[in-house]
Amino acid sequence: MSSAKKDIRTLTLDELVAFFEANGEKKFRAKQVMEWLWKKSATSFDQMNNVGKGVTNLLSEHFELKTIKLADQQISSDRTIKSAFEVDPDKVVEGVLIPTTNRMTACISSQVGCSLACKFCATGRLKMMRNLTAGEIYDQVVHLRNEAQNRYQIPLSNIVYMGMGEPLLNYKNVLTSIEKITSPDGLGMSPQRITVSTAGIAKMIKKLGDDEVKFNLALSLHAANDEKRNQIMDINETNNLEILADALKYFYQKTGTRVTFEYIIFKDFNDSIKDAHELANYSKNLPVKINIIEYNPIDGGEYQQAAPERVDAFAKFLESKNLIVNVRRSRGKDIDAACGQLANKNKANQAS
């Protein structure tokens, strides 16, 4: 037998049932163990105190229960908490807890690094190292949920897959993690409180539609003409605005869920009324709402934050076209926890 033990959280219930039967144990043990893994968020086999010592010894012999470790934590002056999680001895991902007046949001990562290299994003400067497992994604939620409850006495209300990585390039693990987070046999959160953000991979957006997902989808748009979007997002070369519009219509047709456009607004790049006009035209035939996001500068970045009066004028123009618009003021900037800043200062992840 190989010395490397399998991570127990990669098993399905049926696989665990088969394992117990093959080892002369009762089938119902599998359900008990699954409850410890995904509902009670056990971090070791020893915590499973209702399954018997024989079962925990059997599990320890054949499997490992590998959970992420908190490596570092910073708390912003606005109460935002950034947590760095060690997933391998030399690999770190970040998750952020964002408290606002009416919600408590966990922003979580789906990959170590990112392969898309969007020009304005710190994570895009890291090399792509690996996908996170469903368990590693789930662990971030559990940790941030506990922080919300223990530190602020407020339950976690929302989850956004907007941390490090492109979720749709880790499709299977992301969907499995959401299933564990939303299942009554898991954390029991409503899928309507979860948003997955993508840089725009059309075929995977269509796959979300085919899978009739119940969670929300956000598209990182940032420009509504191909020439500008190509400049800041390489992915647009193969997934241009026309291709994306087709995929988003398909997604809506299959799920009935309105998509959110995330539009980071940059000084003198995409903050003019002409840009707002292009965005309004692009949005008019799509079931969307628009989040305009303040830009958060990164070290050595070429873009700057748009002036507040330009942001307000931009939003007012879109509203005049009967579009649903929210301006998102950034939080956690003083600890590099704001949108686009994750891993900006993390030495462990720098490309070697």
As annotated, the active-site residues are: 94, 339
In the sheet that holds 104-107, the strands lie side by side as 69-75, 81-88, 91-99, 104-107, 158-161, 194-198, 216-220, 259-265, 288-294, 325-328
Query: Distance (Å, rounded) from C-alpha 198 to C-alpha 339?
Result: 14
Q: Which of 143, 153, 25 is nearest to 84 (CA)?
A: 143
Residue with tokens 């662990």: 139
Residues in contact with 95: Cβ distance below 8 Å, sequence separation at least 6, in sequence order: 82, 83, 85, 106, 107, 108, 109, 140, 143, 144, 163
